Amino acid sequence: MKISRSLAAAAMMATGTAAMLPAPDANAQLMVRGRLLSIMPNESSSPLNLGVSNEVTPELDLSWFFTPNIAVELILATQRHTVTNAGASVGTVKHLPPTLLLQYHFMPSQAFKPYVGVGLNYTRFYDVDLAGGALTVDKTSTGGAIQAGFDYRLSGNWYLNVDLKKIWIDTDVKTAAGAFVSSLKIDPVVLGVGVGYKF
């Protein structure tokens, strides 16, 4: 009962706080967010036992709202990962994975605005430095992406954002001459926290 009363009190406080905030611009269509991402690969490979390091990186994303509920989001970030084989480092690889998602935003008129999204990822690998140049990877990957998150209005058109994505990224590791060595699925879970402004 104490927990229930505490939750009810917290909900009332949040509702009261939201009511005192400056009103958002109802005609705003473009939201720009800056996030700090935690990239957590869920890697698998065959026949080698390859690993890909967890990393933290900044990210910029743009969301265009066609209606208060429907938006398209483009995320832009890049990062370098360390690649290991059975725990031993074999080098690094950088990737640029722009991802486009179609989103549905629930409760657009409220301060707390959860959303879900589904879309497509295109990854470009570059600056590959594996085994002293003896190994490389396929340069591109295309796969699906899903997300869930929320925006919480802080003041006017400023928002706090928390976002969770699953992105499917895979490539093949090859010799410099092009011979297949191992498949590599990276398939990261990406957690982002940041702020956004809706124009």
> Can you tell me the distance from the alpha carbon of 98 to that of 77, in angstroms, rounded to the nearest whole number?
7
- Please, which residues have CB within 8 angstroms of residue 142's CB and are 6 or more apart in sequence? 120, 121, 122, 123
Q: How many contiguous H segments (helices) and E segments (strands) does the chain have?
A: 1, 15
Give residue limits of the domains in the chain. Answer: 2-198
Partners of 81 in the β-ladder: 93
Instruction: With beta carbons less than 8 A apart as the criterion, state whether 165 and 176 touch.
Output: no
Q: Which fold has domain 2-198?
A: Porin (2.40.160)
Residues 68 and 100: their CA atoms lie apart, in Å, by 18
Other beta carbons less than 10 A from residue 5's beta carbon: 9
Of the candidates 148, 150, 164, the residue with the CA atom closest to the CA atom of residue 195: 150
Q: What is the pTM of this model?
A: 0.83
Residuewise pLDDT in 10s, the chain (199 residues):
433 443 344 334 334 433 444 444 556 699 999 999 999 999 999 999 999 999 999 999 999 999 999 999 999 999 999 999 999 999 999 999 999 999 999 999 999 999 999 999 999 999 999 999 999 999 999 999 999 999 999 999 999 999 999 999 999 999 999 999 999 999 999 999 999 999 9
